[in-house]
C-alpha cells in the first residue's frame, strides 16, 4: 500500500498521526507521510486514518 496526503485538503486535525504514528507526523499545521510505502503491519491503521480523516485528505492505493 502507498499513501499520500493532499496538502490542500489537509486541515491539520492531527488524527492521522494519532492513529498511525509510524506513518504520519505533523509538520507545522499540516500532516505529512513519513514513509510512502506502508509496511504491511501498519496498513490497517493507515486505512483507519484515511476513513477517519474529516476532509478525506489521505489518499491510498
The pTM is what?
0.92
Domains of the chain: 3-60 (3.30.70.20)
pLDDT of residue 52: 97
pLDDT of residue 55: 98
CB neighbours of residue 51 within 10 Å: 11
pLDDT of residue 6: 97
Average pLDDT, consecutive stretches of 10 residues, N- to C-terminus, the chain (61 residues)? 96 97 96 93 97 97 91
Strand partners, 60: 3
Amino acid at each position: 500500500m502507498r499513501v499520500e496526503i493532499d496538502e490542500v485538503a489537509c486541515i491539520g486535525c492531527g488524527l492521522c498521526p494519532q492513529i498511525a504514528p509510524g506513518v504520519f507526523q505533523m509538520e507545522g499545521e499540516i500532516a505529512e507521510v513519513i514513509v510512502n510505502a506502508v509496511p504491511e503491519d501498519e496498513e490497517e491503521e493507515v486505512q483507519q486514518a484515511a476513513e477517519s480523516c474529516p476532509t478525506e485528505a489521505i489518499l491510498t492505493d
